[in-house]
Structure 1
Amino acid sequence: MDIFQSPLMSLPGITPEEFSYLQQATTGLTEQQLRNFLMIYGSRRKQPSEILLLSLIGFLGFAGIHRFVIGQIGMGILYFFTGGLCMIGTIVDIINHKSLTFEYNQKAVFESLQMVRMGGFQ
């Protein structure tokens, strides 16, 4: 299948790294399962720009919001009460926002695949 005809390309802002990961993860799915997977995963995945924006909000006194959004509740609480670990953690997260997003999206892929393969989504 041509890369540009792949249903995975319908995801907005998909990176080559994410595309490659999704191609490997969805190998062996039927066409219906792939459509279901894309519907579930598309609603769960985060964009790096979204995480970057939420990280930048940390400089306005609301540090840690991005950690809550990516499911790291403990780190979000820690960042909130320590001012983003005295802004050092917030700066590091701004630099690493793409890897934070990719790690979150990998977990979302795994959870979405579990739902599709177990038939939890029809």
Structure 2
Amino acid sequence: MNDLSFAILPGVQHEELLWLQELTRGYTAEQKHQFLSVYQGRRKDPQTILICCLIGLIGPAGIHRFLLNSIGMGVLYIFTIGLCWIGTIVDAINYNKLTWEYNKKAALESAALLGLQ
């Protein structure tokens, strides 16, 4: 398995691709395959997060926060209508950063789960 196999992930950004290649540098092909299988199940697509965030402007706010495992912020967004829409707008602008932080944590957890890190 080559390093280009990470490019099949939906919505993968260049920074994430480089980081995943660095994380899995010493892995065998089988270990990379196992890691990719676990990580792919845990990873969130940035476009999905953006769509859920934009839904919060016209519907229930905070869905994207629940997807990103920010349960407390999700509840706060529900009760405050996305912090009066300001928080939702800020999250819509920063959706790539929010998703990248979640995916980075998911990658480290996936490696630890497999005993590779």
Once residues 80 and 2 of structure 1 are traced to their aligned partners in structure 2, the CA distance between those partners, rounded to angstroms, is: 43
Residue matched to 1:20: 18
1:29-68 residue pairs with structure 2 within 5 A? 29-68=27-66
1:98-109 residue pairs with structure 2 within 5 A? 98-109=96-107
Residue matched to 1:86: 84
TM-score by length of 1: 0.88
Residue identity matched to 1:81: F
RMSD between superposed Cα atoms in Å: 1.7
Matched, 1:71 2:39: no
Instruction: Give 3-state SS (helix, strand or coil) of 1:117's partner.
Output: coil
Q: Which moved more, 1:109-118 or 1:49-58?
A: 109-118
Once residues 115 and 36 of structure 2 are traced to their aligned partners in structure 1, the CA distance between those partners, rounded to angstroms, is: 13
Once residues 11 and 48 of structure 1 are traced to their aligned partners in structure 2, the CA distance between those partners, rounded to angstroms, is: 11
How far is the alpha carbon of 1:8 from its aligned partner? 1.7
Instruction: Give 3-state SS (helix, strand or coil) of 2:66's partner.
Output: helix
Instruction: Give 3-state SS (helix, strand or coil) of 2:65's partner.
Output: helix
In the alignment, is the contact (CA less than 8 A) between 2:2 and 2:29 conserved in 1? no
Residue identity matched to 1:15: Q
How far is the alpha carbon of 1:21 from its aligned partner? 0.8
How far is the alpha carbon of 1:2 from its aligned partner? 7.5
Instruction: Give 3-state SS (helix, strand or coil) of 2:114's partner.
Output: helix
